[in-house]
Amino acid sequence: MDLQPSILKEISEEHNLLPQPARTKYITEADELILEDELQRIKLEGKIDRDKCVTGSVIAIYGAEKNDGKFTVEDFCTADLPSQVPRPALSSDKFVLLASGLGLGSSQADNMLGLQLLVDMVTGQLGETREQSGAATISRVLLAGNLLSQNTQDKDASTKAKYLTKKTQAGSVEAMRLLDELLLQLVASVPVDVMPGQYDPTNYTLPQQPLHRCMFPLSSVYPTLQLVSNPYGANIDGVRFLGTSGQNVCDIRKYSSMDSHLEILEETLRLRHLAPTAPDTLGCYPFYQRDPFIFEECPHVYFSGNAPVFESKLVEGSDGQGVLLVTIPDFSSTQTACLVNLRTLQCEPVFFSAFSADEDEESEMNVSH
């Protein structure tokens, strides 16, 4: 890929060369697809979508090598879904609320109001008796990264090399205080799992380590607060959750023709690898003997955070596996969270819109099938 960024291009300013322009996609018509193993590499052509494939994907191909040294692909397949533990039959509805991209530290007042509406809904302080009884069925809240806004980062953080140490900004300290106060309201009534994201104060490379408890002097007193890693796997009432804060999906989107976060999420599931582009274009800890991003077992719910829109899909495997794919929308821009029903594996978005009419504040809940 000619457009793929490299450290050599990043330091080109030292040689008085023009810096590379910012891009949203790095694919061109000149890109070539190469199959590689421990002994050799060969260029591919034929019935395979060059721009849909990403570096790190493990596939099997069927075809023949031509005289020009290229391999003509007639068909190919991926590892597809691994084996899955049966999901338990629950007698009543239980919900897990998924949210990401809270964006604390931004200058948007509507964002804080929407967040408070979300907290009030979960804690049963919003709406009539019907809404409050519905909130009582929420058994877990999962926050999938980017709890802090990009505004809390250095202004030149996006252009600096990723291995440079980030400086702590005053805005991020205030944002963490706000986050601690919001979490305090939540953990008093429901267990909360907090994952770090791209803009949160933890290590840059995957897997990202949990946020430190010392950042949450108020909410960390409660045993219901669980600070977890990214990626994160959980077993909630027998239903296996697995997901990330979205860095793996966003990275694949840059280096392929796929635009839909849901399509990319399904592709990683069928590749049986959570982050195929690591460590090529996605920062990753250098594991040597074992790759922790390989799917050992098939989850029941596979999610990705900080997506532009909410999407969900039920995928079935050849051996009867059933996986709910969920792209959790960025809350700061969409004011949307989502609820997963553990009994039926159905997912519905919850919109929080604040407006001034006859009532001061109101939460609007829309269910889409």
Give the pLDDT confidence of 134-174 residue by residue, as tens digits. 778 999 999 998 999 877 666 555 445 444 434 445 567 88
Please check the confidence at residue 24 and state whether its pLDDT lies above 70: yes
pLDDT at 155: 53
Q: Are residues 69 and 106 in the same domain?
A: no
- Max mean pLDDT among 34-43, 113-122, 221-230 falls in 221-230
In this structure, what is the dihedral angle of CA atoms 61, 268, 287, 245, given to the nearest 10 degrees?
A: 170
User: Domain for residue 86, yes or no?
Assistant: no
**Same domain, yes or no, for 101 and 49?**
no
Q: Which of 20, 52, 78 is where one domain is finished?
A: 78
Note the pLDDT tens digit of each residue in 170-216: 567 888 999 999 999 999 999 999 999 999 999 999 999 999 999 99
pTM confidence score: 0.88
pLDDT tops 50 at residue 256: yes
Same domain, 113 and 21: no
Pairing of strands 192-195, 138-144: parallel
Tell me phi and psi for residue 228, to 5 degrees.
-125, 175
> Are both 181 and 326 inside the same structural domain?
yes
Same domain, 58 and 187: no
Query: Does 2 fall in a domain?
Result: no
How many structural domains compose the chain? 2
Judge if 67 and 107 occupy the same domain.
Answer: no
In a domain, 237, yes or no: yes
Q: What is the pLDDT of residue 363?
A: 40
- Same domain for 113 and 250, yes or no, is yes
Is 272 inside any structural domain? yes
Phi-psi region of 101 (alpha: psi -120 to 50; beta: other; left: phi over 0): left
The verdict on residue 138 lying in a domain is: yes
Which of 52, 78, 104 corresponds to the end of one domain?
Answer: 78
Residues 180 and 31 in one domain: no
Q: What's the CATH code of the domain at 281?
A: 3.60.21.50
Based on the fold, state whether residues 32 and 104 are members of the same structural domain. no
Q: Tell me: pLDDT of 332 over 50.
A: yes
pLDDT band for 356, please (50, 70, 90 cuts).
Answer: very low
Same domain as 175, residue 62: no
**Is the per-residue pLDDT at 360 higher than 50?**
no
- Say if residue 155 is in the same domain as residue 275: yes
Kindly state whether residue 225 falls inside one of the protein's structural domains.
Answer: yes
> What does the pLDDT average to over 72-101?
93
Rounded Cα gap, residues 63 and 181, in angstroms: 59
User: HEC string of the chain?
Assistant: CCCCCCHHHHCHHHHCCCCCCCCCCCCCCCCCEEEECCCCEEEEEECCCCCCCCCCCCEEEEEEECCCCCEEEEEEEECCCCCCCCCCCCCCCCEEEEEECCCECCCCHHHHHHHHHHHHHHCCCCCCHHHHHHHCCEEEEEEECCCECHHHCCCCCCCCCCCCCCCCCHHHHHHHHHHHHHHHHHHCCCCEEEECCCCCCCCCCECECCCCHHHCCCHHHCCCEEECCECEEEEECCEEEEEECCHHHHHHHHCCCCCCHHHHHHHHHHHCECCCCCCCCCCECCCCCCCCCECCCCCCEEEEEEECCCEEEEEECCCCCEEEEEEEEEHHHHCEEEEEECCCCCEEEEECCCCCCCCCCCCCCCCCC
| pLDDT recorded at residue 19 | 61
Q: What range defines the domain where residue 35 resides?
A: 7-78
Asked if the structure places residue 85 within a domain, the reply is: no
**Edge-to-edge, what's the strand order for the sheet holding 311-316?**
232-236, 239-244, 301-307, 322-329, 311-316
pLDDT of residue 21: 67
Q: What pLDDT shows up at residue 38?
A: 87
285-310 pLDDT, tens digit per residue, is 998 889 999 999 999 999 999 999 99
Span 75-101, average pLDDT: 93
CB 207 within 8 A of CB 292: yes
CATH number of the domain at 59, please: 2.40.50.430
Q: Are residues 170 and 265 in the same domain?
A: yes
* Torsion angle in degrees (nearest 10) through CA of 159, 160, 163, 164: -150
* % residues pLDDT > 70 (the chain): 85
pLDDT at residue 358, as a whole number: 38
pLDDT of residue 105: 80
- Residue 194 inside a domain? The answer is yes
Instruction: Kindly tell me if the per-residue pLDDT of 247 is higher than 90.
Output: yes
